[in-house]
Structure 1
Amino acid sequence: MEQVDVAVIGGGRSGLAAAHALRAQGLQPVVLEASEQAAGSWPHYYDSLTLFSPARYSSLPALPFGGDPDRYPHRDEVVAHLRRCAERLETEIRTRTRVREVRFGDGAFRLSLEGGGRLVARAVIAATGTFRHPHQPDLPGLETYTGTLLHGADYRAPEPFDGQRVMVVGAGNSAVQIAAELAERARVTLAARHPVRFARQRILGRDLHWWLARTGLDTLPVGRFLSAPPTQLVIDDGHYRAAVTSGRPDRRPVFTGIDGTKVTWADGSTEEVDAIVLATGYRPDLGYLAPLGALDVTGHPRHREEMSLTHPGLAYVGLEWQRSLSSNSLRGAGRDATRAAQHIAAHLSRI
């Protein structure tokens, strides 16, 4: 059976950052990526996606973004950036390699791969993020809906919804961005259990992320004190607030029932809805760790910041609020990966 130093599961932003940090510790990682390229989920996001953080704050450690550091990179720029990082890593990256399960025995982690392959690793970093595990909340009557139902993970562009009646469920960045884009071609309602909360993208001429970095709020280690992630703020240059204020999209509380394609709203009114887009977030994509007993009953890892609480040689990178508000982002992946690699190196030096 093949033996490796450290197996990094996932070859997106978090996996690449982890591989870079492990090499800095003198370790030889092998990156296992399920898709055909080391760019993680980024090639699969909707076509118009643009970062809310400027390029200067959105680079992985291996390579800074080129061009204007104050611009907001488009999805395709991020994909190209990740590909360049992968090329420069000088680390073995195995694409089309999906990990089916991880077990522990005889002092090492044993990875079973789809297709029958197996690996033995002294340590593991789980960096698979959340995109492949979209969250569908328990909403009244949703299981009976007979119109077009999709998650934000499957949304690409507004053209297929021309002239339709569409509901977008959610109140975060993606929900508002998708709803505003759709509202230019369809009649759209943004439905959520909580109000949309906007944060100004620029304050006193500086981007919000400049202030977060300058004040230290971006790296404040508050993750361990959160029992649940706080309500997401929608970072806005004024465009999205204006769209919602003008009623394109309009804003309503979440529906109270569905019958076929007929939706019942909280005020008792009903109407036909052609399509529902669930922009309701994601959950950790870590099912392959279940045989270890490393997850709780909800599928979340038992961890403290970067390190597993069940296995000293298991670490995580890329979880939402793993350590700070920037953990599940391009700007935060490098910091968390550095800490995880340091812990892994220290652990391996003791065994």
Structure 2
Amino acid sequence: MTASRRPVDVLVIGGGQAGLAAGYYLRRAKADFVILDAQERPGGAWQHAWPSLRLFSPAQFSSLPGRMMPIPPSGGYPSASDTVAYLADYEQRYDLPVIRPTRVRAVRRDGEHLVVETDAGAWQARIVISATGTWWRPYIPYYPGIRDFQGQQLHTADYRGAEPFQGRRVVVVGGANSAAQILAELSIVADTTWTTLRPPRLLPDEVDGRALFELATRKARAADAESIGDLGDIVAVPPVREARDRGVLKAEPMFTRITPEGVAWPDGTSLTCDAIIWCTGFRPALGHLTPLRLRNRTGIIPTQGTRAVGEPRLHLLGYGDWTGPASATLIGASRTARETVAEIVKQL
């Protein structure tokens, strides 16, 4: 160990929902740990989401361990700002050792330890939990002509509200929850067209994130479990239901190329538009782990539970079902964090 490396038993990278859930259980286990967060303020990626975004479950089913999320004044689904306030309060309530803003540049092996290099010096850890999520790697698929479009293109991560699109023609791309919520809001002020790879399906009104989490858990435990896709794709939160009732949630097939003025389909049909909003998902933010050379050909790090197969001192938390059932959600991250920390305590 060099004098410039601060030693710690467990180092958590990321102070969002997954990192805080891990912190809660590490605190209960009386572990020696620290959480490094690149953001200037608490709240994780939620502080960068568009204001009208709604969670997929009521507050009482969208909570981290030990502290229920307050029910919003509307009594419905919490907003992004509600979630930010909750995470900030949670962090303070449990006095979690979050150091911010600290950007992690790389994680490397060094004998019996992992060295975490940051923009504020280096740390030496026996165990590292990577909980950086996906928000920081928005994905936009390539379509012919995408660089020739003369209008505005943005991703879900860049969307901040409907007002800038007042009176404009907007194409919304994607068949999942973000696309449906953004379309619902935009359709009030803009001329919208929704395009999807396959027909989108709304879940029944009574089905929300609670049922989806339980289904994901059952699916992970039994190969013959019912598929989530058998139920549908989109949670019918109130704004989406309202748009459905207005007849707005009607999707067109996916276009195959982009023109300077808009989009076009194989049959020669074309549509002129002012903006394209890509609600096409995200990829895991794993760049800091590149020196460990753990990714497979698909770009994913193989895991057993949350522990990296190629580096047992590394755990990955909150990136999606491959790191725990519904682990990219508040409730899913909580349950996965409990199992992860229990395993880490045995490792230590």
- Give the TM-score, by structure 2 length: 0.90
Query: Counterpart in 2 of 1:121?
Result: 125
Q: 1:269 to 1:217 in 2, by over 3 A?
A: closer
Query: Structure 1 149/72 Cα, relative in aligned 2: closer, same or farther at 3 Å?
Result: same
Of stretches 118-127 and 265-274 in structure 1, the one that deviates more from structure 2 is: 265-274
Structure 1 CA distance for aligned equivalents of residues 243 and 77 of structure 2: 20
Deviation at 1:285, TM superposition (A): 0.5
Q: Which residue of 2 aligns with 1:9?
A: 13
1:274 aligns with 2:274: yes
Contact 2:12 2:19 in 1 (8 A): yes
Return the offset for 1:234: 0.2
- Other-structure match for 1:107: 112
Aligned positions of 1:193-212 closer than 5 A: 193-202=197-206, 208-209=208-209, 211=211
Report the CA distance between 1:296 and its aligned residue: 2.0
- C-alpha distance in 2, partners of 1:315/1:47? 32
Q: State the 1:333 CA deviation.
A: 1.0
Q: Secondary structure at the match of 2:312?
A: coil
Structure 1 length normalisation: TM-score? 0.89
1:29: how far off?
1.5
Relative to structure 1, the CA distance from residue 224 to residue 284 in structure 2 (aligned partners, 3 Å threshold; closer, same or farther) is farther
Structure 2 counterpart of 1:63, one-letter code: R
Counterpart of 1:80? 85
Q: Could you tell me how far apart the structure 2 residues matched to 1:57 and 1:266 are? A: 44
CA contact 1:190–1:251 (8 Å) conserved in 2: yes
Q: Which amino acid in structure 2 is aligned with residue 199 of structure 1? A: L
Alpha-carbon distance, 1:210 to partner? 5.3
Which residues of structure 2 form unaligned runs of 5+?
Answer: none
8 A contact 2:255–2:264 mirrored in 1? yes
Instruction: For residues 86-135 of structure 1, give each alpha carbon's deviation from its aligned partner in whole angstroms, at most 9, with x where no partner exists.
Output: 102223111110101100111100111125x1111110001011000111
Q: Would you say the 8 A contact 1:223–1:323 is kept in 2?
A: no
1:173-188 → structure 2 map (5 Å cutoff) = 173-188=177-192
Matched to 2:295, the amino acid is: L
Match 2:102 to one of 97, 100, 120: 97
- 1:190 equivalenced with 2:191 (yes/no): no
Q: CA deviation at 1:218?
A: 4.9
Distance 1:179 1:301 in 2: 34
Q: Give yes or no for contact 1:244–1:251 (8 Å, CA) kept in 2.
A: no
Name 2:304's counterpart in structure 1: 304
Summarize the Cα distance change of 1:98–1:298 in structure 2 as closer, same or farther, 3 Å threshold. Answer: farther
Given that 1:125 and 1:314 are in contact with CA atoms closer than 8 Å, whether structure 2 keeps it comes out as yes
SS of corresponding position for 2:235:
strand
Counterpart mapping for 1:124-163 below 5 A: 124-163=128-167
Of 51, 57, 60, the residue aligned with 1:53 is 57
* In structure 2, distance between residues paired with 1:275 and 1:209: 31
Does the 8 A contact of 1:287 with 1:299 survive in 2? no
Tell me the SS of whatever aligns to 1:235: coil
Q: CA deviation at 1:144?
A: 2.2
Partner of 1:31: 35
User: Is the Cα–Cα contact under 8 Å of residues 172 and 234 in structure 1 kept in the other structure?
Assistant: yes
SS at match of 2:243: helix
Amino acid at match of 1:79: V
Distance 2:116 2:291 in 1: 11
* Matched residue SS, 1:295: coil
Identity of aligned residues (%): 37
**CA distance in structure 1 between the partners assigned to 2:251 and 2:257 by the alignment:** 17
Letter of the structure 1 residue corresponding to residue 64 of structure 2: L
Please, which moves more after superposition, 187-196 or 249-258?
249-258
Aligned to 1:64: 68
Matched letter for residue 93 of structure 2:
R
Cα shift at 1:65: 1.6
Residue equivalent to 1:256: 256
Matching residue's letter, 2:291: P
Label 1:108 to 1:319 Cα distance change in 2 as closer, same or farther (>3 A).
Answer: same
Moved more, 141-150 or 262-271: 262-271
Using the alignment, how far apart are the partners of 1:60 and 1:67 within structure 2? 14
